[in-house]
């Protein structure tokens, strides 16, 4: 089970909350690029995921999604 699935959150929800493009999300989850978040985006992401910043993976690019697993 993936980090997002454990929290019943879809990639589309993350994309919407962060205000980023699907391509940017793909780059992060595939490990091709590292995200650069604002404090507001981190707060919004934590609210969506129901977690604290300390619960977020240290390497966002290693979050597995259906698209990144293929």
Q: To 10 degrees, the CA torsion angle through 45, 3, 37, 54?
A: 80
Q: What pLDDT is stored for residue 58 in this prediction? A: 76
Domains contained in the chain, CATH given: 3-69 (1.10.260.40)
Q: Considering only CA atoms, which of 27, 33, 25 is closest in space to residue 9?
A: 25
Please state, rounded to an integer, the average pLDDT across all residues of the chain: 85
Q: What pLDDT is stored for residue 34 in this prediction? A: 86
Helices H / strands E in the chain, number of each: 5, 0
| Rounded mean pLDDT for each run of 10 residues along the chain, 70 residues in total | 85 96 91 90 96 84 51
Rg of the chain, C-alpha, whole Å: 11
């Amino acid at each position: 089970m993936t980090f997002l699935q454990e929290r019943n959150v879809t990639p589309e929800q993350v994309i919407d909350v962060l205000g980023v493009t699907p391509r940017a999300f793909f780059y992060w989850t595939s490990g091709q690029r590292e995200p650069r978040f604002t404090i507001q985006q981190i707060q919004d992401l934590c609210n969506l995921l129901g977690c604290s910043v300390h619960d977020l993976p240290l390497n966002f690019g290693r979050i597995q999604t259906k698209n990144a697993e293929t």
